[in-house]
Amino acid sequence: MSDASFVRSEMLSEQDPPPTSVGVIGWLRANLFSNWWNSILTVLCLAAIWYVLSGLLGWTLLSVWNAGSLNECREIMIASWGSTHGHACWGVINDRWLQLLFGFYPPELYYRPILAMLLLFAALAPVLFADKVSPRLLYVTAAYPFLMPWLMWGGSIWTPVGVAAGFVLAYLVGRKLGGTVPGLVLGIVSAIVWWMLWLGLPVQSEVFGSGVGEILVVGLGESLASISPDAAPFWLETVESRKFGGFMLSVLIGVVAIGCSLPLGILLALGRQSNMLIVKAICVGFIEFIRGVPLITLLFVASTLLNIFLPPGTNFDIILRVMIMVTLFAAAYMAEVIRGGLAGLPTGQYEGADSLGLNYWQAQRLIIMPQALKISIPGIVSTFIGIFKDTTLVSIIALLDPLGLSNSIRADTDWNGVYWELFAFIALMFFIACFGMSRYSMYLERKLKTEND
């Protein structure tokens, strides 16, 4: 007999945790009712959510979809619920949603902005999801700046081809003069100027009344204009930019502004970091001036002053003028984002490039920019979100973006008096687009973080 009266020969199985700390109840206790203060807050929050949702859901769901005018809506509401209060009239969205998306773009050509949008995703994919997408898509990225204006504005295929050729030529010349980066810069600048001249051409050709460029520009304008739809392959019906409107216009202004501001922003950021005093002063002055004034004043400049600053008689389309000003606006912000990226690089990278004997532009192209741009992408995306949201301001200068259109729609006697439904729809569309982009930006930040650790 041993002394011990009891020896456990086998371990007891683990006891279940108390029922109040597992499952739904446990989760509730831990997260919502951990102490009396939290419990009060939780109850208050629930009450607030209930209050908001009960009003909102009733309005959203108990609503009229099929109606051709506000009065019809009201009749249906009276017939169904006996009152017109607390019910949305989505008939206006049903009637006008295409207009809110595409503005006055000809309906039979809707495939073009849609295609441009899809191509945009294809062009961005290799940049945004570099590890998941075949790098061959980069060809789409390279072609996109030439394809997109052609798709949107139409015309002959030779125009984008000409611009691309001009780009390549300018690039080659620039490379001969100063190296790859100046070449790229010159190419991009020439492409942008080219597009602008071409888009402004119908008016331009009347304007260049005399001077050296007359023959060239007018001749060019006529030769472009004289390409008849039958003679040219891949002729797309031209659409004037004042037909653009709705969300298409917002996206277009945003994309053009960000696309064009990227090279400009890189130059400004480099200029600001440069130790050449005058170059630095000009860049700093430009950036601080643009960042110091509200976008709306720049839009006022676009709508009322830009024509005064340009040679007498020059007359760009208002949408083009707005794009120019928004691009300048975006470039200043972009420059700051890229400057942040440059500052994020360790000094060793610069010194390493120097020790390899690379010159300034080689170092920028091969060592600095690839790294700086990569860490700047989240900042670029949030700049884009900001610009995209700010495009609503163009409604103040009479462009028909979604907000501007909502005003025009209310001026139709059918829909005079509709208020919340249009705003709700516009807010929802902006939310979906911006929320998606900000999620992407967060995903990227997480990825960059893990890579750097």
Partner 1 sequence: MATMTDPPRESFRLSMLIYDTRYRSLTIQVIALFAFMLLVAWIISNTVQNLAGLGKEVEFGFFGEPASYDINQRLLEYTSRDTHLRASFIGLLNTLVVAILGCITATVIGVFVGVARLSRNWLIARIMTVYVEMFRNVPVLLWIVFAMAILIESLPSPRAFRGEDAPQSLILNDSVAITNRGVYVPEALFSRSLGDVRLFGESSVRFDVSLDLIVIIAVLAASVFVFRRIRAWAERVQNETGNRPTTWHFQIAVLVVPTVILLAALGFHLGKPELKGFNFAGGTHLRNSLIALWIALSLYTAAFIAEIVRGGILAISKGQTEAAGSLGLRPNRIMSLVILPQALRVIIPPLISNYLNLTKNSSLAIAVGYLDITGTLGGITLNQTGRELECILLLMLIYLFISLSISVGMNIYNKRVALVER
Partner 2 sequence: MKKSVFYGAIAAAVVLGGAAGAATLDDVKARGNLNCGVSTGLVGFAAPDASGNWEGFDVAVCRAVAAAVLGDPQAVEFIPTTGKTRFTALASGEVDMLARNTTWTFSRDTDLKLDFIGVNYYDGQGFMVPKALGVTSAKDLDGATVCIQTGTTTELNLADFFRVNNISYEPVPIETNAEAQQQYLAEACDVYTTDASGLAATRAAFESPGDHVILPEIISKEPLGPVVRHGDNEWGDIVRWTLNALISAEELGITSANVGELAGGTNNPEINRMLGTEGTLGDMIGLDAEWAQRAIMAEGNYGEIFEKNIGENTPVGLARGLNAQYTDGGLIYSPPFR
**Residues forming the site for partner 2 (CB under 8 A):** 70, 74, 84, 95-96, 99, 103-104, 107, 162, 165-166, 169-170, 173, 190, 193-194, 197, 202, 206-214, 216-217, 220, 240, 242-243, 300, 303-304, 307-308, 311-315, 318, 396-400, 404, 407-413, 416-417, 419
Asked if 172 touches partner 1 (CB under 8 A), the answer is no
Question: Closest separation between CB of residue 180 and partner 2, Å?
Answer: 18
List the one residue out of 379, 146, 393 whose CA is nearest residue 258: 379
The interface partner of residue 128, options being partner 2, partner 1, none and the CB cut-off 5 to 8 Å by kind, is none
The crossing angle, in degrees rounded to 10, of helices 277-292 and 246-273 is 150
Question: Closest separation between CB of residue 111 and partner 2, Å?
Answer: 17
The crossing angle, in degrees rounded to 10, of helices 138-153 and 111-128 is 160
For 431, phi then psi, to 5°, come to -60, -45
Asked if 443 touches partner 1 (CB under 8 A), the answer is no
Question: Closest separation between CB of residue 391 and partner 2, Å?
Answer: 16
Distance CA 159, CA 147 (A): 10
- Smaller CB distance to partner 2: residue 423 or 435? 423
Question: Closest separation between CB of residue 348 and partner 2, Å?
Answer: 40
The interface partner of residue 214, options being partner 1, partner 2, none and the CB cut-off 5 to 8 Å by kind, is partner 2
- The residues near 196 (Cβ < 8 Å, ≥ 6 apart) are 316, 320, 324
- The residues near 161 (Cβ < 8 Å, ≥ 6 apart) are 146
Question: Closest separation between CB of residue 274 and partner 2, Å?
Answer: 25
**Positions 290 through 319 that interact with partner 1 (CB under 8 A):** 291-297, 300-301, 304-305, 307-312
Question: Closest separation between CB of residue 228 and partner 2, Å?
Answer: 15
Which range of residues in 95-103, 183-191, 237-245, 285-293 is near partner 1 by CB under 8 A? 285-293
- Smaller CB distance to partner 2: residue 25 or 216? 216
CA 76-80-81 angle, to 5 degrees, is 115
Question: Closest separation between CB of residue 190 and partner 2, Å?
Answer: 6
DSSP state of 200: T
Distance CA 273, CA 54 (A): 55
List the one residue out of 157, 144, 320, 151 whose CA is nearest residue 239: 151
The interface partner of residue 421, options being partner 1, partner 2, none and the CB cut-off 5 to 8 Å by kind, is none
Q: Contact, 383 vs 229, CB < 8 A?
A: no
- Smaller CB distance to partner 1: residue 109 or 279? 279
Distance CA 121, CA 186 (A): 27
DSSP states along 399-427 = --SHHHHHHHHHTSTTTTT--HHHHHHHH
CB atoms within 10 A of CB 62: 13
Question: Closest separation between CB of residue 330 and partner 1, Å?
Answer: 15
**Positions 375 through 394 that interact with partner 1 (CB under 8 A):** 385, 389-390, 392-393
Distance CA 186, CA 163 (A): 13
Question: Closest separation between CB of residue 427 and partner 1, Å?
Answer: 5
DSSP state of 89: B
The interface partner of residue 41, options being partner 2, partner 1, none and the CB cut-off 5 to 8 Å by kind, is partner 1
Report the DSSP beta bridge partners of residue 89: 64
User: Which tokens hold the place of 296?
Assistant: 């709306």
CA 415 to chain centre: 30
Instruction: Give the 3-state secondary structure of residue 33.
Output: coil
**Positions 408 through 427 that interact with partner 1 (CB under 8 A):** 419-420, 423, 426-427
Distance CA 248, CA 97 (A): 12
**Positions 19 through 78 that interact with partner 1 (CB under 8 A):** 31-32, 34, 38, 41-42, 45-46, 48-49
The interface partner of residue 19, options being partner 1, partner 2, none and the CB cut-off 5 to 8 Å by kind, is none
Asked if 438 touches partner 1 (CB under 8 A), the answer is yes
The interface partner of residue 79, options being partner 2, partner 1, none and the CB cut-off 5 to 8 Å by kind, is none
User: Which tokens hold the place of 418?
Assistant: 């509709």
- Smaller CB distance to partner 1: residue 307 or 371? 307
- Smaller CB distance to partner 2: residue 119 or 197? 197
Question: Closest separation between CB of residue 270 and partner 1, Å?
Answer: 12
Q: Contact, 39 vs 33, CB < 8 A?
A: yes
Question: Closest separation between CB of residue 214 and partner 2, Å?
Answer: 7
Q: Contact, 344 vs 448, CB < 8 A?
A: no
Binding residues (CB under 8 A) for partner 1: these are 31-32, 34, 38, 41-42, 45-46, 48-49, 275-279, 282, 288-289, 291-297, 300-301, 304-305, 307-312, 354, 385, 389-390, 392-393, 395-396, 403, 419-420, 423, 426-427, 430-431, 434-435, 438
